[in-house]
Structure 1
């Protein structure tokens, strides 16, 4: 199995931070910016390249996807920025897109309460709202009309437990197959997922970076987990990085 962990394209909150260095005025579930849409279109074009099956293909080159990707499964977070990024890719690849409630960003859907100075959980988009925006999105039964999040801010312990849950789910569904799976998720969860998977304790300030639309590839087999490459953005022009 190959896992491609892909960050969503630039969101309005990303642009806010880039322009101001502050999260003041952040949205609990932002959409993509115009720049983000352009990034997602480049990503879709890159991932659309068919996978070569030639016996003469260079194995090392193939591990760097020089002969394309040939993705077989697309899963996305239920946050608007990730769904929209993934929907652009799914349309280009003419593939079904499955929403996965556990691929969300660390913390969940929240806003900072100015009086209490604490993050307060929000509802998140409802089933009807998600399907109105993305009619082809295949949602899990757990997504209802009350909003897919609708609970308190996620703690560090809950993030780690969720990363373990996602890993177990991935192995149960795709282990010992030739599947090529794409997760459309978030930078914070990427860090939690990798550190949990590796059993790593990172020093204060250490971080696994993942740029907007960047791709990290992990090859998973009975022999172990191989991190083939990380934070790949060579398909984006400089102006969109």
Structure 2
């Protein structure tokens, strides 16, 4: 299989100080431009399965890919950003929030298919901030699910997701590589990393690809934009 790990377009939180960020932001005008180019790229790039995080910024990033490919986007909770859907920031602490419900997702993103655990309580269900242990367990869950569902196929699969969890997932798939922002640079908004998975082996085919973006649309430009 070929696995495309896609970071969402620039979110409204990416452009703000951490203390001003909200629980589930949309995209900036620049982010909307980024994902439009991303969708156009997928008109000439093979894709068989489209799966997205339930955060609004990821759903909005998925829309142009959906329009370009006609694939039904599957909405899966386990691709969410580290921490979950929370309000607050480190200095004051975090408060768990519901996240979008299945009904809200279907109303605002027609054609998308939320998984069964996303109900009227929202996808995060106001749980506390995700612990480090829970983050690492989720990495293993996503890896196992990927191998079981697609590992023996020749399908092209896209996960639309987030910088911090994408980096953790890459570290899980490629433990021999020091994949951090310090060694490999920041993960770009609407950037695509491609893994080739065959017979249980994982190869990095392309890292942080932004060839589909004009130079003036490449972000992050600052360290603060590298998160969420």
State the TM-score, normalizing by the size of structure 2.
Answer: 0.89
Query: Where does structure 1 lack aligned partners over 5 or more consecutive residues?
Result: 17-21, 50-68
Q: Tell me the distance in 2 between the aligned counterparts of 1:48 and 1:192.
A: 29
* Number of the residue aligned with 2:214: 237
Equivalent position SS for 1:10: coil
| Structure 1 segment 15-54 matched on structure 2, within 5 A | 15-16=15-16, 22-49=17-44
Whether 1:129 and 2:104 are equivalent positions in the alignment is yes
**Do the aligned residues in 2 keep the contact of 1:113 with 1:120 (CA within 8 Å)?**
no
Q: Take 1:196 and 1:148, find their aligned partners in 2: how far apart are those partners?
A: 24
Offset from partner CA, 1:18-62 (integer Å, 9 cap, x none): xxxx2121011101111111111100111111xxxxxxxxxxxxx
**Worse-superposed segment, 98-107 or 200-209:** 200-209
Please list every run of 5 or more consecutive structure 2 residues that lacks an aligned counterpart in the other structure. 219-228
Helix, strand or coil at the partner of 1:123: coil
Q: Does residue 1:90 correspond to 2:66, yes or no?
A: yes
In structure 1, distance between residues paired with 2:30 and 2:180: 32
Return the offset for 1:199.
Answer: 3.1
Deviation (angstroms), 1:117: 2.1
Give a deviation string over 1:178-215, Cα, whole Å, max 9, x none. Answer: 10000000000011111122336969974653110000
For residues 217 and 87 of structure 1, the distance between their equivalents in structure 2, rounded to whole angstroms, comes to 20
Deviation sequence 1:102-128 (CA, Å, 0-9, x none): 0000111111268x8212211101111
Partner of 1:10: 10
RMSD of aligned alpha carbons: 1.9
CA distance in 1, matches of 2:35, 2:202: 28
2:187 maps to 1:210: yes
Structure 1 residues 145 and 175: alpha-carbon distance in aligned structure 2, compared to 1, 3 A threshold: same
Q: Work out the CA distance in 1 between the residues paired with 2:179 and 2:48.
A: 36
- In structure 1, distance between residues paired with 2:211 and 2:124: 34
The residue aligned with 2:149 is 173
Q: Counterpart in 1 of 2:118?
A: 143
Q: Please report the TM-score for the alignment, with normalisation by the length of structure 1.
A: 0.84
Largest Rg, 1 or 2: 1
Report the equivalent of 2:133: 157
